[in-house]
Chain A
Amino acid sequence: MIDTLLTHAPILIIAAPLLTAFILPLIDKVSTKGRNILALCAVVFTLILVVMLAQDVIENGIRIYTLGGENAHMALPSGYHVPVRITLVVDALSAFMVIISSLISFVGLLYSFAHVKGEGTGKFYTLFLLMLVGMLGMEMTGDLFNLFVFLEILSISSAALVAFYIRKGQPIEASIKFIIISSLAALFVLFATGLLYGEYNLLNMGALASEINSQTGGLTLVSQFAFILLLASFSLKAGSAPMHMWLPDTYGEAPGAISMFLVAGTQASLYALLRVIFTIYNTALDTSIIGGLLIILGLVSIFIGVTMALIQIDLKRLIGYAAVAEVGYILLAVGVGFFELAQGELSEYGLKALQGGIFHIFNDVLDIGLLFLVAGAIIYLTKETNLNKLGGLARSMKYSSFFFLIGLVAVAGLPPLNGFASKILIYEAIYKVSPLLSIIAILASIFMLAIFVKIFYSVFMGPQLPSLSNIPKTPLLMLTSMAILSGIMIFFGLFPDYIVDHLVTPAVNALVDNFTYITSITGGI
């Protein structure tokens, strides 16, 4: 039984939330408690399967699952094997990202039980599970067209969730901007997929990688054009700087836990960017130019995120701009890692930069997620988002202020928590490329500390405002979800070696080494 589950685990991880998402409207007509319990069971089942699959993949190597048959290949009469079926490829980096998505969905679902009320809540949970399916599909797929389809599933359900409550029309405005920009990005991903299909007659990522890397004379013009389109579209969806305009609007107007779940969604697009750069196009690109481009994108994101966050007066919008800055850190580290890739095998500093960057993906979701959860609790209880009208909330919301303090220390990168563990790796590793990058990164962290200490003092400390004197207690489910996130953050901060050795280093090795990826798909010829 366990063996069957483990063999079919990649498709069951996607099929279980999808099946539940379509059963929920039928059960909703009978009872609402049954609907809640069924959604929770689906997410817990996915989480357990994900942990089992991740353990198996990190010990035993890449897993390939073919839909519809036993063998992914079809032998042409000339003896050449071409991969034709839809495949799901799980290696250590996919396992890492899938753990992030399912963990955040569990925490988000617990939080959503507390504050989603009114008519139409059955549709809320259906869209939530569809968003989870989109994320898991993007992180486990093996070919480019499935990546486009799951990207569109993710964007459409996120847009519908952001616009769930019509509060005087502002979330609808944020959501229409989101869906127009994100649909444009997805169309350009499809255009690039069409270009690559027309050039090489292949859609499978492993087979494409082997064709592109074995071509003499560098990249053709069509492949270069496709790469630029893919880089621009995926960094738009990941929220990096010149294309970040949709991010503060969308994060600022989403209800409660959806902001946290959207952060996990943007990390899935970041994963797709890493796949395109490191696995498909590995050293066929000019590493100094593309690495330099990623470093510049990261620096501009950090700068814009931090300086725009200084002048905000809306609580959730400010945390959204901080999220832009955190994505800048990841792009900076990945750019330095790609820059060092050309020096023979990866030199020591390049490997450390990639470890810091990949670890920071997990820490970014945890830290910004915790801050969004606390902000959601504040907005649910006081119905105010303006920082000028909030004050002195520590008396009535004791536990929430403690969790906000933990989130603040983690985002700023101070020692006992997980933000320090990944940021110290990034600072050390990017010092070798140029000391100026390190200085800018450390300065940005200090600015973030200043911003969030300002918010903490103005929202929680100080005299209690008369308009906020009797607000109800925070619901227990919200406090439980915040406690789960804080517990994980403290564990990562106190024992970073354990996580880096067991989760992050296999992921970085799988990312850099595309030879194993290619030979496990096209191998056996």
Chain B
Amino acid sequence: MIYNLPFYAVIIIIAIGLYIIAFKRNLIKIAMGITIIQSGVNLFLITLGYRKDGLAPIFTHLPKDTPIPNGMVLPVPQALTLTSIVIGVAVLALILSFIIVLFREYGTLDTYKMRRLKE
């Protein structure tokens, strides 16, 4: 039961992120919501790789007599998470640059007031 705790945390984090994107009006808060969902998905990917009583998957650091595929946690989800973190940084940089330009043009950060493209 306690080993399922990270999966429950993932669901709560993604639900909080979706609530922020859907219901908040400030653009900075929406950008924070995107980052929270990214953190939730990264946590999910890392948690997939855990094996019971596993060690870090570095060949030259293992003590003797550890069985080679089964005594380590899986290294592939760690590579997937790293790529996802990099993509998250790039998307966040882009969104923040757009928010800076929008603030300079309209003078406000409220999405209800700055909406010009309707219908």
A–B: direct contact at CB < 8 Å: yes
Could you say which residues of chain B place their CB within 8 Å of the CB of A175?
Answer: 98
Once bound together, how far apart are the Cα atoms of A163 and B95, in whole Å? 11
Q: Is A402 an interface residue (CB 8 A)?
A: no
Contact B48 A169 (CB under 8 A): no
Could you say which residues of chain B place their CB within 8 Å of the CB of A173?
Answer: 102, 114-117
Q: Is B73 an interface residue (CB 8 A)?
A: no
Pick from A152, A159, A169, A170: contact of B87, CB under 8 Å: A152
| Interface SS of B by simple majority | helix
| Interface-central residue, A173, A187, A198, A253, by most chain B CB under 10 Å | A187
Contact A187 B98 (CB under 8 A): no
Within 8 A of B (CB), among A152-194: 152, 156, 159-160, 163, 166, 168-170, 172-176, 179-180, 183-184, 186-187, 190-191, 193-194
Interface string of A358-385 (1 = CB under 8 A from B): 0000000000000000000000000000
Contact B102 A169 (CB under 8 A): yes
Could you say which residues of chain A place their CB within 8 Å of the CB of B116?
Answer: 169-170, 173
Q: Is B84 an interface residue (CB 8 A)?
A: yes
Could you say which residues of chain A place their CB within 8 Å of the CB of B5?
Answer: none
B43 CB, min distance to chain A CBs, angstroms: 10
Assuming the contacts A173-B114, A180-B21, A194-B41, asked whether A166 and B101 have C-beta atoms less than 8 A apart, the reply is: yes
Once bound together, how far apart are the Cα atoms of A505 and B114, in whole Å? 49
Contact B119 A311 (CB under 8 A): yes
Q: Is A326 an interface residue (CB 8 A)?
A: no
Interface string of B9-40 (1 = CB under 8 A from A): 00000100000010000010010001001100
Assuming the contacts A180-B21, A187-B41, asked whether A152 and B91 have C-beta atoms less than 8 A apart, the reply is: yes
Once bound together, how far apart are the Cα atoms of A176 and B98, in whole Å? 7
Contact B105 A145 (CB under 8 A): no
Q: Is A149 an interface residue (CB 8 A)?
A: yes
Q: Is A249 an interface residue (CB 8 A)?
A: yes
Could you say which residues of chain A place their CB within 8 Å of the CB of B106?
Answer: 169
Contact A183 B105 (CB under 8 A): no
Contact B95 A180 (CB under 8 A): yes
Contact A166 B91 (CB under 8 A): no
B42 CB, min distance to chain A CBs, angstroms: 9
Pick from A160, A166, A193, A249: contact of B117, CB under 8 Å: A249
Q: Is B62 an interface residue (CB 8 A)?
A: no
Pick from A163, A168, A190: contact of B98, CB under 8 Å: A163
Within 8 A of A (CB), among B73-116: 76-77, 80, 83-84, 87, 90-91, 94-95, 98-99, 101-102, 105-106, 114-116
Q: Is B45 an interface residue (CB 8 A)?
A: yes
Could you say which residues of chain A place their CB within 8 Å of the CB of B41?
Answer: 187, 190-191, 194
Once bound together, how far apart are the Cα atoms of A160 and B94, in whole Å? 8
Could you say which residues of chain A place their CB within 8 Å of the CB of B30?
Answer: 180
Contact B37 A176 (CB under 8 A): no
Q: Is A197 an interface residue (CB 8 A)?
A: yes
Contact B117 A253 (CB under 8 A): yes
Contact A168 B119 (CB under 8 A): no
Pick from A170, A190, A252: contact of B84, CB under 8 Å: A190
Once bound together, how far apart are the Cα atoms of A174 and B38, in whole Å? 22
**What are 23 residue pairs bridging A and B, where the CB atoms are less than 8 Å apart in the complex?**
A145-B80, A145-B83, A149-B83, A152-B87, A156-B90, A156-B94, A159-B94, A169-B101, A170-B116, A170-B117, A175-B98, A179-B95, A179-B98, A180-B95, A190-B80, A191-B14, A191-B41, A191-B44, A194-B48, A249-B117, A252-B117, A253-B117, A311-B119
> Chain A: residues with CB nearer than 8 A to chain B?
145, 149, 152, 156, 159-160, 163, 166, 168-170, 172-176, 179-180, 183-184, 186-187, 190-191, 193-194, 197-198, 203, 249, 252-253, 311-312
> Chain B: residues with CB nearer than 8 A to chain A?
14, 21, 27, 30, 34, 37-38, 41, 44-45, 48, 76-77, 80, 83-84, 87, 90-91, 94-95, 98-99, 101-102, 105-106, 114-117, 119
Given contacts A156-B90, A176-B102, A252-B117, 16 further A-B contacts (CB under 8 A): A145-B83, A149-B87, A152-B90, A159-B94, A169-B116, A170-B116, A172-B102, A173-B102, A173-B116, A173-B117, A176-B98, A176-B99, A180-B21, A187-B37, A311-B119, A312-B119
